[in-house]
Amino acid sequence: MNNSQDRAALKQAVHDKMMSLEAAELASAIAHYEAFMAEAKLDDREVHDKDDIVGARENADLAAAFDHPVQAHHAKIDVIENMDFSLTDTVGPGALVCFGGRWFIVAVSTARFEVDGVTYMGISTQSPIYKAMAGLQAGDVFAFNGKDAEIQDVL
């Protein structure tokens, strides 16, 4: 892929897909949180038995457990929205990087996802593999877990 317009369009498509996946994860986490919060509220009766109170408390605890994923997905979306995804030839935040025949996007950690039949995965700028290749360019070699890997492409 040599045309810079094609490379920019690909990078934008990967960015958009990653953003939509994080938005869906956030919506799911919020739905779980809200469902447990709704079940944690006692009704308007004046008297509640012990089972009502225990059930409400359990649902409140479950809702609290879902608050962390909500905050984590908000943070990931914030990073994606504020990161520079312009074309680059150096591995850094916002770069698409290919090594070992696999594509990665340096932004936030994600599950694998596909764009136009190619599989990508997001990696965090805090990840050890990113730290091993930060600042490198296509053709450079880095060591990770006792093995050398050559960077095949950077966008």
- What is the pLDDT confidence band of residue 16, given thresholds at 50, 70 and 90? very high
* pTM strictly above 0.85: no
Domain ranges of the chain: 4-154
Nearest Cα to Cα of residue 94 among 104, 109, 79, 84? 84
**122 DSSP β-pair partners:** 105
CB distance 65 to 71 below 8 Å? no
> In this structure, what DSSP letter does residue 81 have?
H
Q: What is the pLDDT of residues 52-102, one digit of tens each?
A: 555 556 656 666 666 677 788 888 999 999 999 999 999 999 999 999 999
